[in-house]
Amino acid sequence: MKAHDGMYIDGAWRPAAGKDVIEVVNPADEQVIATVPAGTAEDVDAAVRAARAALPGWAATPPAERAARLAALRDVLVAREEEIAETVTAELGSPLAFSRTVHVGVPIAVAGSYADLAATYVFEEKVGNSTVYHEPVGVVGAITPWNYPLHQIVAKAAPALAAGCTIVLKPAEDTPLTARLLAEAVHEAGVPAGVLNLVTGLGPVAGQALVEHPDVDLVSFTGSTAVGRRIGATAGAAVKRVALELGGKSANVILPSADLARAVNVGVANVMANSGQTCSAWTRMLVHRDQYDEAVELAATAAAKYGDRIGPLVSAAQRARVRGYIEKGIAEGARLVAGGPESPRDKGYFVSPTVFADVTPEMTVAQEEIFGPVLCVLRYEDEEDALRIANGTVYGLAGAVWAGDEAEAVAFARRMDTGQVDINGGRFNPLAPFGGYKQSGVGRELGTYGLAEYLQTKSLQF
Ligand code: NAP
Ligand code: MG
């Protein structure tokens, strides 16, 4: 058990204003592994002051130098990959191999992409008789969730740094240790004092103080739609910019011409990865009625094969929420073909890979984000029916389409109300814009689109 007593503010680890702490629990064995300070409004204020003081210097730093710091950050993440992966596994519970390749691998790629973009982005352009400058928005308040604890920080911090913004980060209470390593990495990378500050703490205390702070210019939030809605309202009342990356209930549409076995197997893997704690997971599989029984059998077999190779959920509260949804699915008449609400182990917050068949579009399990290893398989009559079901939730974050012919899949994807669609198992692209249609959010992350969120324009006329 390690008791950390500092928060990273103005380039140094400083004691918190108050005495309260947060216990960090390993979800695989339910042991307390560390404590971190539970920051208050006073700590947030100190961090925002540091970020404000550092802003003019960092904003005026040549983009090539900001690019060099981002490249150094990427190199530190590479050098400390194993330590970070072990920390993610300890506080989130994901299998170590997944922590290495995804939880650390993706942030390395994203930090590298912003090192390149900072060096090449056009921060100044001529439009007729005007010069347009793309200037940093200012002090960013970043609030992140636990499900991809490093990626979700880097997806905000890297573009903010590239843009010339300064940052106060409030990470999730469940995964503060990964955030501490990121702050150490930023320090090691030679990013000047005050440019990135870390306040650990509870959402309704430290998070809310950050959102309400009058000297924060932009709030960037990833998490639940319920909290995002409140943050958006608070930011709106203060005429403050806000970016919201919220929940999803994405559809995996398998058209009749597709390679059914491949589409189902990749679809199951997509949902079970990270124990289903992925906002963009394709948690609704849509299959034509003629192929439905075969697809359900394939999905049940694939899910059962995962057994206990998936990790636990992040917390007892998350497990209780997911089990509640599984019980609700059974009560509403969905047919359980794999998994179920019972715990597969005595210790740890595990839930078995679960598949529901005979799910109809209006059922709770087909409408609400479960955020656990639970797949719903729905039956469609024809393509129009599939489209209506795919678009029939309040969300629109991601999705997948499978067809024998790429053009057929693309034509369907173009009609989906969603921000990102994988065609026939397309690969992750760290430069592609990521973000939601409808209630899945406001704004985009990654690549040039993510960078633009942290910039505002000024035009001079000649
Ligand atoms: P959450 O409450 O929305 O947490 C996200 C972040 O917001 C955390 O850092 C949280 O702090 C903070 N926060 C909470 N209340 C706040 C407030 N009033 N003001 C400012 N910040 C606040 O999400 P959760 O409770 O961890 O998870 C609940 C559900 O949200 C999940 O079951 C899932 O459905 C969804 N979720 C979605 C995503 C996504 O990527 N879209 C990610 C995580 C969760 P604390 O850590 O202290 O709560
Ligand atoms: Mg919460």
**Where residue 54 sits, what CATH number does that domain have?**
3.40.605.10
Do 268 and 337 fall within a single domain?
yes
186 lies in some domain: yes
What is the model's pLDDT at position 309? 84
**306 and 410 inside one domain:** yes
pLDDT tens-digit series, residues 324-356:
999 999 999 999 999 999 989 999 999 999 999
Stated pTM of the model = 0.98
Print the domain residue range for 130. Answer: 2-246+440-461
Does 330 lie in the same domain as 294?
yes
Residues 261 and 409 both lie in one domain: yes
Please give the tally of structural domains in the chain: 2
Would you tell me how many other CB atoms lie within 10 Å of the CB of residue 11?
Answer: 17
* Residue 455 is assigned to a structural domain of this protein: yes
Mean pLDDT of 300-323: 94
% of the chain surpassing 90 pLDDT: 99
Task: Answer whether residue 76 shows pLDDT above 90.
Answer: yes
Nearest-angstrom CA–CA distance, 54 and 331? 55
Q: What is the mean pLDDT of the chain?
A: 98
Atom of ligand 1 nearest to the CA of 314: 26
The alpha carbons of the chain give a radius of gyration, in whole angstroms, of: 22
Binning pLDDT at 50, 70 and 90, where does residue 307 land?
Answer: confident
88 and 213 both lie in a single domain:
yes
In a domain? residue 318:
yes
Q: Are residues 272 and 177 in the same domain?
A: no
Rounded CA-CA distance 146/91 in Å is 9
Place of tokens 């359980």: 336
The pair of three-digit structure tokens given for residue 115, joined into one six-digit string: 């090192």
Substitution site in 24, 153, 178, 224 for ligand 1 pocket (most atoms within 8 Å of beta carbon)? 224
Q: Is the CB of 321 under 6 A from ligand 1?
A: yes
Residue nearest ligand 1's atom 14 by CA: 203
> Does residue 263 sit in the same domain as residue 213?
no
CATH number for the domain harbouring residue 388: 3.40.309.10
- 435 in a structural domain: no
Asked if residue 380 belongs to a domain, the reply is yes
Q: What is the pLDDT of residue 319?
A: 98
Residues 230 and 262 occupy one common structural domain: no
Tokens standing for 210? Answer: 């950050």
pLDDT band at 423 (very low <50, low <70, confident <90, very high): very high
pLDDT average, residue stretch 63-69: 98
Report CA-CA distances (Å) from 139 to 48, 56, 166, 169.
8, 10, 5, 11
The pLDDT score that the predictor gives to residue 267 is 98
Check pocket membership of 397 for ligand 1, CB cut-off 6 A: no
| Ligand nearest, relative to CA of residue 230 | 1
- Whether 300 and 189 map to the same domain: the answer is no
Residue tagged active-site, from 91, 173, 212, 245: 245
pLDDT at residue number 48: 99
Active site residue 245: yes
Asked if 206 and 322 sit in the same domain, the reply is: no
Cα–Cα distance measured from residue 152 to residue 172, given in angstroms and rounded to the nearest whole number? 10
pLDDT at 308: 73
364 C-alpha vs ligand 1 centroid, how far in Å?
Answer: 20
Is residue 112 predicted with pLDDT exceeding 80? yes
Q: Do 28 and 110 belong to one domain?
A: yes
Do both 226 and 257 map to the same domain?
A: no
pLDDT in tens, 365-421: 999 999 999 999 999 999 999 999 999 999 999 999 999 999 999 999 999 999 999
